[in-house]
Structure formats: structure tokens, C-alpha cells
């Protein structure tokens, strides 16, 4: 509903997608866990280069989850999921201080 969409936007509970799904994202014991629909890659982008990390499926395969260490000396992170067709899903930025 319109109300649910607006509430999710106001609470920061949203992501943009051309098709891939981000099914779960959580922090546990200093690691960020993300679970998605079948993807070619899952990348953690940070405020500064180099990127926070990337998990890439072997050629001809897909992956549905990745785990990244919570980065130090970064203000925020966001995730980019790319499926087999090259379609993207991107999370909003998450501030590190809010995650730990």
C-alpha cells in the first residue's frame, strides 16, 4: 500500500532493484551477512576505495549469500548484487556506527 511504502522509506527499510532480491541482511559478531536471489556477484562498497569486498560465483554458477567483515575506518557501506543477466539490486547506505 502507499502507506507501507512511505513508512518503509521513512524508516530506511528499502533497496532499489532491477530484479535481484535481497532477502536478508544482518550483522553478527563483527560480520555482515547478506542473502539474495541467485547472483553472479555480491559486492560491499565502502566510502573509500578499495571496495569492501566482493564475492563472485564460479563461471556458470550462482551464489545466494556472502559474508563480509565489518570494515574499519569507514563511515558507511552499501551492497550491490548483480544477477546472471547483469541486473542490479542496491541497498541504501548503512552507517557503520549504526551497525555495530
Longest CA pairwise span in the chain (Å): 42
Beta bridge partners of 18: none
Q: State pTM to two decimals.
A: 0.86
Q: How many Å apart are CA 83 and CA 38, to the nearest integer?
A: 6
pLDDT tens for each residue of 4-40 = 888 888 887 778 889 999 999 999 999 999 999 999 9
Where b means 16+ CB within 10 Å and e means fewer, 39-51 reads: bbebbbbbeeeee
Q: Quick: pLDDT tens for 37-86.
A: 999 999 999 987 667 899 999 999 999 999 999 988 889 999 999 999 99
Amino acid at each position: 500500500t502507499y502507506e507501507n511504502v512511505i513508512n518503509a522509506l521513512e524508516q530506511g527499510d528499502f533497496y532499489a532493484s532491477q530484479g535481484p532480491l535481497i532477502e536478508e541482511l544482518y550483522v553478527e559478531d563483527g560480520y555482515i551477512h547478506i542473502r539474495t536471489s541467485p547472483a553472479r556477484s555480491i559486492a560491499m562498497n565502502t566510502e573509500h576505495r578499495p571496495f569492501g569486498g566482493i564475492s563472485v560465483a564460479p563461471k556458470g554458477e550462482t551464489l545466494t549469500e556472502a559474508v563480509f567483515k565489518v570494515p574499519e575506518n569507514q563511515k558507511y557501506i552499501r551492497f550491490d548484487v548483480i544477477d546472471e543477466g547483469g541486473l542490479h539490486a542496491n541497498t541504501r547506505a548503512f552507517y557503520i556506527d549504526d551497525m555495530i
